[in-house]
Amino acid sequence: MPAVIESIETLLVDLPTIRPHKLSMTTMACQTLVIVRMRHSDGIEGLGEGTTIGGLSYGPESPESIKLHIDTYLAPLLIGEPSGAINHLRARLDSQARGNAIAKSALETALLDAQGKRLGVSVATLLGGSRHVHLPVLWTLASGDTRKDIDEAEQRLNDRRHCDFKLKIGANAVDEDVRHVAAIKAALGDRAGVRVDVNQAWDEATAVRGIAALQDAGVELIEQPIPARDHDGLVRLADRFRVPLLADEAVADARDGMTLATAGFSGAVALKIAKSAGPRGALALAEVARAAGHGLYGGTMLEGTIGTAASLHAWSTLGELRWGTEMFGPLLLRDDIVTTPLDYHEFGVDLPSGPGLGLALDEDKLAHYARPA
């Protein structure tokens, strides 16, 4: 008899960061993970993670809402259903619940992890097979202090941990941000690539001035300089400058990717399983972006190890990631809740091996960091 889903448990897990992480909309000193434990009638447990940035400051889902919506609305749609019917279950969730992409991503990840364990294959194999076992990973410099950021980048280079860096800007005046970025680029020179993420902080007129200055400073990629819904403005900016623009918040799924492509966008696209409702949705967006000639970038919502591993399994199936990945989330956290952390070395990270995600929970650490019920 086919296995069925017996229970779905969600846990809020608060992990401190190694330093304050400053973005245009918030500063983080702690990351909250929503961990899903999906248990099946054949004794297999699938793990998933739903994570956002800064509570509600980044998007419409918060850790608390993700847990509430899974517990109240989404889990009842899955319990008692066949464990391996992933396409059917994804369609069931979409037909009965609008939005909630991060919550759905956590559940799809748990389904894939369980199915991989059941069949003795990796999630990457379920998604078509890995083409890479080691993926490049950049590091985000977000202390807000120029000297500290330079020192941090130098240390990462010396450790052969990262050779590309992204700076979070937009919280300060444009001229101040440009001076900060230009100083870091000048200090690192040709030894490292430098990119920026504005997180939608500028209007189009401000973006014209800021992008021109950043281009002159040698920045190689500029992420989401203006609000997500201003697709026309993003197209105009991409056409105006040599430095490529990266669409992130502007493109969540394959339909958004088609909208940007039809509008004539000529930049790159950030893939995130959280905003695409799971690994399969992110890979569907990748196909649209690739057909449109957009460079691909494996993005993060600063997930812990479970969510990061799920993304890595998806990105490993892609032929080319023109702009690499930013799957550094676990490195930003002071501790972990898995028994074997991801292996970061030689400017990247290894794809976890083993069935499913290739991970196991550290029950003591999980109990220590989980919020009381």
> Which helix (DSSP H) or strand (DSSP E) does residue 268 occupy?
strand 268-271
Q: How many CA atoms lie within 13 A of 129 on its CB side?
A: 1
Cross-strand partners of 47: 37
- Residue the block writes with tokens 């399969």: 280
Stated as kind and residue range, the H or E segment containing 193 is: strand 193-197
Q: In angstroms, rounded to a whole number, what is the distance separating the alpha carbons of residues 320 and 181?
A: 28
Q: How far apart are CA 304 and CA 74, in angstroms?
A: 22
User: Alpha helix locations (H) across the chain?
Assistant: 63-69, 75-78, 86-96, 101-119, 123-126, 146-158, 174-188, 204-217, 231-240, 254-263, 279-291, 305-315, 329-332, 363-369
Backbone angles phi, psi at 312, to 5 degrees: -60, -40
Measure the CA–CA gap between 344 and 162, rounded to whole angstroms: 9
- One-character DSSP codes across 335-357: --SBSS---EETTEEEPPPSSBT
Reference 270, options 216, 195, 208, 210; nearest CA is: 195
- Size of the chain, expressed as the number of residues it contains: 373
Q: What is the DSSP string of 11-67?
A: EEEEEEEEEEEE-SS-EEEEEEEEEEEEEETTS-EEEEEEE-STTTTSSS--HHHHH
Which residue's structure tokens are 């120029």?
A: 146
Residues with a known catalytic role = 168, 326
CB 124 within 8 A of CB 355: no
Q: Do residues 158 and 183 lie in contact, with contact meaning Cβ atoms separated by under 8 Å?
A: no
